């Protein structure tokens, strides 16, 4: 079964685009075909770093959003990676409900995976609680990403009722490791893919390339838990 990954979190600056980019690189490195869509019109980070794979989408424009469904129909052999913009929940949810997007994707043989990327702040926990309530009865796999690059103290979340609720609903919890701050900045200024950073001697010195490889290895270990190479949904395991 193919997958449609919605990379959300609603809150700005939690690392949604970073997650979309590393997931895209994971697909590329494992030679798995996918189509990327960038819903963040103000930043366009996903499409900027992976312009050969990701196309812009205008949230609030149904024709633009509908194009993602057309892509599923036209390319049934490819998974989708959709990078959602901050504060886009209202128009995205309206489009999902009015079009019965999840029902349609199920008919097309696609499993929906909703990623909630979070920092260690209270807002991210509250927003996760809303996601859990909204999709409790939907055919959706939920992945919670604790982004260590946006906070190191997730104890309050792990002790919260929301965490217990997530476990009860069978949510997958993973961590995105912290990436060296200076390396993150150099990647941003060079508009480089993670592959280029790990391999191009013209962009990074040997130590920086090694740090990138180590970070990718740890990130892939986390992604393997929820994506894997077998193509099965989390609900079927």
pLDDT of residue 44: 80
pLDDT of residue 40: 85
Report the alpha-carbon distance of residue 33 to residue 28 in Å, rounded: 7
CB 82 within 8 A of CB 39: yes
Q: Which helix (H) or strand (E) holds 4?
A: strand 2-8
CATH number of the domain where residue 113 is located: 3.40.50.300
Residue 213 lies in a domain: no
Residue 111 lies in a domain: yes
Residue 218 lies in a domain: no
Report the alpha-carbon distance of residue 218 to residue 44 in Å, rounded: 26
Residue 236 lies in a domain: no
pLDDT of residue 124: 96
Residue 118 lies in a domain: yes
- C-alpha dihedral sign at 131, 134, 136, 140: negative
CB 9 within 8 A of CB 121: no
- DSSP alpha helix (H) spans, 100-201: 101-107, 122-134, 155-158, 161-168, 181-190, 194-199
pLDDT of residue 46: 92
pLDDT of residue 181: 86
pLDDT of residue 101: 97
Residue 123 lies in a domain: yes
| Beta bridge pairs of residue 173 | 144
Report the candidate in 91, 152, 94, 96 with the shortest Cα–Cα distance to residue 121: 152
From first to last of its 237 residues, what are the pLDDT tens digits of the chain? Answer: 899 999 999 888 899 999 999 999 999 999 999 999 999 877 788 988 998 999 999 998 999 999 999 999 999 999 999 999 888 989 999 999 999 999 999 999 999 999 999 999 999 999 999 999 999 999 999 999 999 999 999 999 999 999 999 999 999 999 999 998 889 888 888 888 999 999 999 999 999 999 999 999 999 999 999 998 534 434 433
**Residue entry with tokens 């685009």:** 17
CB 19 within 8 A of CB 117: yes
Report the alpha-carbon distance of residue 80 to residue 97 in Å, rounded: 19
Residue-range definition of the domain harbouring residue 119 = 2-179
Residue 207 lies in a domain: no
Give the DSSP letter string of 194-237: HHHHHH-TTTS-HHHHHHHHHHHHHHHHHHHHHTTTT---GGG-
Report the candidate in 108, 106, 100 with the shortest Cα–Cα distance to residue 70: 108
Q: How many domains does the chain have?
A: 1
**Residue entry with tokens 């949604």:** 16
pLDDT of residue 191: 85
Query: Distances in Å between the alpha carbon of 119 and those of 45, 49, 109?
Result: 19, 22, 32
Report the alpha-carbon distance of residue 133 to residue 89 in Å, rounded: 14
Residue 63 lies in a domain: yes
Report the candidate in 44, 50, 42 with the shortest Cα–Cα distance to residue 26: 50
CB 150 within 8 A of CB 178: no
């Amino acid at each position: 079964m193919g997958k449609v990954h919605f990379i959300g979190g609603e809150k700005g600056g939690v690392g949604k685009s970073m997650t979309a980019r590393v997931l895209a690189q994971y697909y590329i490195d494992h030679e798995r075909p996918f189509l990327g869509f960038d819903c963040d019109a103000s930043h366009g980070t996903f499409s900027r770093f992976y312009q050969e794979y990701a196309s812009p989408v205008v949230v609030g424009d149904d024709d633009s959003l509908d194009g993602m469904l057309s892509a599923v129909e036209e390319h049934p052999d490819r998974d989708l990676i959709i990078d959602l913009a901050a504060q886009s929940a209202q128009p995205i949810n309206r489009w999902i409900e009015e079009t019965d997007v999840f029902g349609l994707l199920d008919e097309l043989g696609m499993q929906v995976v909703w990623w909630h990327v979070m920092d260690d702040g209270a807002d991210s926990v509250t927003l996760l609680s809303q996601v859990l309530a909204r999709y409790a009865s939907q055919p959706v796999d939920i992945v919670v990403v604790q982004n260590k690059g946006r906070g190191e103290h997730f104890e309050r979340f792990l002790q919260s009722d929301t965490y217990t609720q997530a476990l009860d609903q069978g949510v997958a919890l993973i961590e995105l490791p912290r990436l060296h701050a200076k390396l993150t900045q150099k990647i941003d200024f060079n508009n480089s893919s993670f592959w280029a950073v790990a391999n191009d001697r013209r962009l990074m010195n040997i130590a920086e390339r090694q740090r990138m490889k180590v970070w990718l290895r740890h990130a892939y270990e986390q992604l393997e838990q929820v994506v894997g190479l077998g193509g099965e949904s989390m609900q079927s395991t």
